[in-house]
Amino acid sequence: MKYGKLIRTETGWRMEDVPAHVSLRLKQIFPRLDKAARGTFEFPGDDVTAADLDWFRDRYPFLIEPEANQALIRGRLAHEERQSETERLFLNGFKPPTYAGLQPGQTVRRYQAQAVEMLRLSGGLLLGDDVGLGKTFTTCAAMLVPGALPAVVVCQPHLQRQWCRVIESFTTLKAHAVKKTSPYTLPKADVLVFRYTQLAGWVEQFPELAPRLVAFDEIQELRKGEEALKGRAALELVRSADYRVGLSATPIYNKGAEIWTIYQYLAPDVLGPFMEFQREWCGYGYWVADPVALGDYLRDGHVFLRRTKADVGQELPKVSRIIEYIEHDAGELAKIEDVARRLALTATTSDSFHERGQAARDLDLRLRHATGVAKARVVAAMARVLVESGEPVIMAGWHRDVYDIWSEALHDLEPAYYTGTETAAAKQREVDRFVSGETNLMFMSLRSGAGVDGLQLRCSTMIIGELDWSPATHTQIIGRLDREGQTQPVTAIFPVASDGSDPPMMELNGLKASQAAGITDRGVAQAASTDRTRLQALVGRYLKGGTG
């Protein structure tokens, strides 16, 4: 008996005349199928689908023309071969291939070669290796794969020069740091290095550039997807690419559904349309119901790879995270008490969606600022004790007013500045001052230091003077010290106030951390889910009228 007919189309496959009971089974096996479809179904033409269809017909045979049958079998065999090749990468007998184009004396480490070959086989890869394992060098090696040039790297502004230096010191390729936000005549180069902020201005030129490999450094920059200009431009950039790689040890900054957006740039078919992804993976809203299962699914599909330092034999002592409850200036929080209460009320009771959203944002900004200022002098005093004992220290903050208080209290220590204000060149000069020992103190913005290397050669102590809503931000900045080259145990001190924005941020960070860790780190125990939002965490204190 035959249960329908499978037809080869220009874009994939179409199954017709499928009986009702087989249609139900088909939609269970292929969750991307239109749930309302009856009798006729469309499938993509990739090898994975061919393998699944070939498997499905063992139970429900269908009619198929000889030529289409051969194409189906070729697809299945290609998928099986690719699966076997990928699995061989992680066997003990794997030996890295020779990559022509390395500078004399440079080598590609075994675990880095595994990632390169995995990208070669899959075409799209999220490389989530632990901070400090050389994702930049891995990407440079991938550029040496035949057919990977020309290549484009997209990075944060302060890392553009660093990328060019690494590319040209590690390989014989020529790199060019794109200088303007609008097109100009580019010099001959194998690799163009763009800043995320430049993408929108160059979007018309992307078809002409036609990169074969595109690498997104700190790909969480694209987590808002097409909502942002850079997100829309990035989709145009990858259209011609055979190889797409995203780099980040912390790809999820907030809710687990951000992973769907990230994969639209790397392997858009993997997680399907967003509504399907949300239905299959999210328990409610944008929280992933089973992060561990999703992480396993991405690993099994060979589109996600993450190794820790322990996995590759570079394990460092665990970071000591010390939460230090400190005194704060209650007067700073009292200054905003009345306005914060009004904002909290508006954010929860206004009939206007716009007013509620604006009030929530204003409450967040005002309360975080006031909290940072309220504890700034105590945090500065803590840093002074450490520095005067001979310990180099990095202080991480967010608000300019907080930096100003730190600067006033610690001006005699001549701190270096790596915040959001300095140019890329100025940031590098300040890093050089700190690393060379000219100063033992550096102020660093929580979200300005991703990718910076070299600080671990000088320092092992960090004070997180202001908290961030995303635990990934804390992980990233601590990773500036907890990386290869560090010879001392790293200590991260979190001075926390008992009032203001610190308590709700501490609470909500626990759930966010569980979402990210469940997807990226297999087998991590999950915190209990909660529907408590940032807004609810903030307004609770003011609507209850107490410190809560």
Alpha helices in 123-248 (DSSP H): 135-142, 160-170, 199-202, 206-209, 229-237
**Edge-to-edge strand order for the sheet containing 175-177?**
175-177, 191-195, 151-155, 213-217, 243-247, 124-127, 304-305
The correct CATH number of 101-305 out of 3.40.50.970, 3.40.50.10810, 3.30.450.40, 3.90.950.10 is 3.40.50.10810
From first to last of the 548 residues of the chain, give the pLDDT tens digit.
888 899 999 888 999 998 999 888 888 888 778 777 888 998 888 888 899 999 999 999 999 999 999 999 999 998 888 888 888 888 888 888 999 999 999 999 999 999 999 999 999 999 999 877 889 999 999 999 999 999 999 998 888 988 999 999 999 999 999 999 999 999 999 999 999 999 999 999 999 999 999 999 999 999 999 999 999 999 999 998 999 999 998 888 777 888 999 999 999 888 888 887 888 888 666 788 888 888 888 988 889 999 887 777 766 667 888 888 889 998 988 888 888 888 888 877 877 777 877 888 888 888 899 999 999 999 999 999 999 999 999 999 999 999 999 999 999 999 999 987 888 888 889 999 999 999 999 999 988 766 678 899 999 999 999 998 888 788 888 988 988 778 888 999 999 998 888 888 887 777 666 767 777 776 554 444 444 466 666 666 666 544 43
Distance CA 374, CA 88 (A): 56
What's the one-letter identity of residue 230? Answer: K
> Comparing 101-305 with 320-337+369-539, is the CATH topology the same?
yes
Amino acid at site 276: E
Tokens 């051969």 identify what position?
70
What pLDDT sits at residue 372?
Answer: 94
Across-strand partners of 215? 153, 245
Domain ranges of the chain: 5-86, 101-305, 320-337+369-539
Sequence-separated (6 or more) residues with CB below 8 Å from residue 138: 108, 112, 115, 116, 127, 129
Encoded tokens for 130: 């632990």
pTM of the model: 0.69
Q: Give counts: helices (H), strands (E), the chain.
A: 20, 18
Token pair recorded at residue 522: 């297999």
Residues 116, 145 contacting (CB under 8 angstroms): yes
Distances in Å between the alpha carbon of 235 and those of 38, 214, 240? 33, 11, 10
Provide the pLDDT for residue 531. 41
3-state secondary structure of 55: helix
Task: Give the number of C-alpha atoms closer than 13 A to the C-alpha of residue 454, restricted to the C-beta side.
Answer: 14
Q: Which residue has the tokens 């850079």?
A: 230
The rounded Cα 316 to chain-centroid distance in angstroms is 22
Long-range contacts of 540-544 (CB under 8 A, 24+ apart): 540/504, 541/344, 541/499, 541/504, 542/340, 542/341, 542/343, 542/344, 542/345, 543/341, 543/344, 543/345, 543/348
Which residues share a beta bridge with 334?
Answer: none
Which class does domain 320-337+369-539 fall in? alpha beta
Q: What does the block give as tokens for 121?
A: 């086989």
Sheet holding 12-16, edge to edge: 5-8, 12-16, 41-44
Neighbours of 8 (CB within 10 A): 17
DSSP β-bridge partners for residue 44? 12
Terminal Cα-to-Cα distance of the chain (whole angstroms): 69
> What is the torsional sign of CA 308, 311, 313, 315?
positive
